[in-house]
């Protein structure tokens, strides 16, 4: 998605900063924790799904964190994720004292809390017998063996294997 700060916050001049977990350095304090480059208010910036951006409208204290769908990330949402991520008391104190540090800590918390994606096995709902029957119905020569789940035979004349070996 291409973002222009002026399209979101109106006519005020300021800056936009793209923020990802890789561009946040929690060992630094306040706005310095957000590394990376600043973009002008009218620059077009590509924001990928899962990335965030901060817009400063140029008026003191008017900085807002948005997700990649251009939705504001409110303070309650940020605090819940930060507490769940288990940040130290020292980091939580910095979060309370610096809005930009707060934004960076939230982005790190979101990355930290991502659950590993379990691969989906669409075949697990079928029994071995159902899978063997389906392969046989499709013209494969499948034989069950106690040592091998599916036994491979030589390729047929058309070059296809009659079955797959799976141990």
Q: Are 18 and 53 in contact (CB under 8 A)?
A: yes
In the prediction, which pLDDT does 149 show?
47
Question: What's the pLDDT band for 109 if we cut at 50, 70, 90?
Answer: very high
Residue 54, phi then psi, degrees to nearest 5? -110, 135
Give CA 131 to chain center in angstroms. 34
Q: What is the mean pLDDT of residues 124-134?
A: 85
Per-residue pLDDT of 47-106, as tens digits, reads 888 788 888 876 666 788 888 878 889 999 999 999 999 999 999 999 999 999 999 999
Judge whether 163 and 152 are in contact, CB under 8 Å: yes
DSSP designation for 17: E
Is residue 38 within a helix (H) or strand (E), and if so which, with residue range?
strand 38-40
**Helix H segments across 114-150?**
128-137
Of 109, 52, 100, 57, the residue nearest 78 (C-alpha): 109
Instruction: Calculate the average pLDDT of the chain.
Output: 79
| Three-point CA angle 98, 72, 93, nearest 5° | 20
pLDDT at 119 over 90: no
Instruction: Read off the pLDDT of each residue in 102-126 and give the average, rounded to a whole number.
Output: 84
Element holding 81 (H helix, E strand): helix 75-84
Q: What is the mean pLDDT of residues 116-145?
A: 80
- Of 20-24, 60-64, 121-125, 134-138, the poorest mean pLDDT is in 60-64
What's the pTM?
A: 0.63
What's residue 115's pLDDT? 67
Over residues 23-46, the mean pLDDT reads 85
């Amino acid at each position: 998605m291409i973002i222009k700060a002026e399209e979101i916050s109106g006519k005020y001049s300021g800056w936009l900063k793209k923020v990802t977990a890789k561009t946040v350095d929690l060992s630094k304090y306040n706005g310095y924790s957000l590394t990376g480059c600043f973009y002008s208010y009218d620059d077009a910036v590509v924001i990928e799904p899962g990335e965030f951006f901060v817009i400063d409208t140029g008026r003191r204290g008017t900085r807002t964190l948005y997700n990649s769908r251009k939705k504001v990330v409110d303070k309650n949402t940020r605090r819940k994720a930060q507490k769940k991520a288990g940040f130290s008391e020292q980091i939580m104190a910095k979060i309370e004292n610096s809005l930009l540090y707060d934004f960076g800590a939230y982005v790190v918390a979101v990355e930290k809390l991502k659950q590993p994606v379990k691969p989906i096995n669409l075949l697990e709902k079928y029994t071995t017998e159902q899978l063997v029957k389906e392969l046989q119905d499709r013209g494969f020569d499948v034989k069950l063996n106690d040592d091998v789940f599916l036994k491979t035979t030589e390729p047929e004349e058309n070059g296809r294997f009659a079955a797959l070996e799976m141990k």
